[in-house]
């Protein structure tokens, strides 16, 4: 018996990296997995390899989101698709770079959450969102990326109570550095050579499994190399009235 027997799970950004590792784990654990990505070639090959279904999904397209969700009775979803952004001088950053990161990393989470909630409300469901350690700590190497992940964490924590009232649980996962294509060619090795600790994508996939199976909602889990999985504790400011 697998931990996800009988579940129909959508994983976005699943053609590579964390999404691929998560799709593989869920399929091994009994789920029927729907791989969603814009990289049709890699996504279709992975789907064929593990016995999953592939769908093309641009997470910034709200109509596409509705079409994908309406086509199947999903019980769980890992909202994982994301992009990075680095720059040397803020004065040289084009509008298009900022807009692209926010559209994918924030807009994609909003559209996904909304359409999944339309479908899952009243019958229940689980959503796990890939955020980042950059969303709970300053990330001077990539401030736009960090800002997008702060927004994601704020969204998950704020929207969780209304989703939970309809039986839908949502949590966020904050990985540290992970050996995935988002680091760029040879990026993980460069990080290790600098003395930094880098996670394997399989460890993050296992953390997503924990997030999906958790009975909590609105939680933010962290996963870091050599430190393992933990739940991050937040404290509201004194006098905060919601």
Is residue 123 helix, strand or coil?
coil
Among candidate residues 54, 111, 145, 240, the one labeled active-site is 145
Q: Give Cα separations from 35 to 20, 31, 172, 219 (angstroms).
A: 8, 12, 19, 25
Full strand arrangement of the beta sheet holding 168-175: 53-56, 32-37, 8-12, 76-79, 125-130, 168-175, 220-224, 228-231
| CB contact at 8 A, 70 and 46 | no
Minimal CA–CA distance to 169: which of 135, 123, 232, 136? Answer: 123
d(CA 57, CA 63): 10
Kindly state the DSSP code that residue 157 receives in the 8-state scheme: H
Minimal CA–CA distance to 74: which of 43, 36, 48? Answer: 36
What is the helix (H) or strand (E) element at residue 145, kind and residue range? Answer: helix 143-164
Q: Give Cα separations from 154 to 63, 116, 129, 237 (angstroms).
A: 24, 18, 12, 15
End-to-end CA distance of the chain: 43
Active-site residue, 145 included: yes
Indicate which residues carry an active-site annotation: 145
């Amino acid at each position: 018996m697998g931990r996800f027997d009988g579940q129909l799970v959508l994983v976005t950004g699943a053609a590579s990296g964390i999404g691929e590792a998560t799709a593989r784990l869920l399929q091994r654990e009994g789920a029927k997995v729907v791989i969603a990505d814009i990289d049709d070639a890699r996504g279709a090959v992975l789907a064929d390899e593990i016995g999953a279904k592939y769908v093309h999904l641009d997470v910034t397209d709200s109509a596409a989101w509705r079409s994908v969700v309406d086509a199947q009775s999903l019980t769980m979803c890992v909202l994982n698709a994301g992009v990075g952004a680095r720059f040397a001088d803020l004065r040289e950053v084009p509008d298009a770079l900022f807009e692209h990161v926010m559209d994918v990393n924030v807009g994609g989470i909003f559209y996904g959450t909304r359409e999944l909630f339309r479908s899952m409300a009243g019958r229940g469901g689980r959503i796990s969102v890939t955020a980042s350690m950059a969303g709970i700590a300053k990330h001077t190497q990539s401030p736009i990326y960090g800002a997008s992940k702060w927004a994601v964490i704020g969204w998950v924590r704020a929207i969780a109570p209304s989703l939970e009232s309809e039986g839908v649980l949502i949590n966020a996962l904050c990985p540290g550095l992970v050996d995935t294509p988002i680091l760029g060619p040879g990026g993980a090795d460069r990080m290790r050579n600098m003395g930094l600790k880098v996670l394997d994508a399989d460890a993050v996939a296992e953390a997503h499994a924990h997030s999906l199976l958790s009975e909590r909602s609105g939680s933010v889990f962290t996963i870091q190399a050599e430190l393992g999985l933990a739940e991050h504790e937040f404290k509201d400011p004194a006098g905060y009235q919601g």
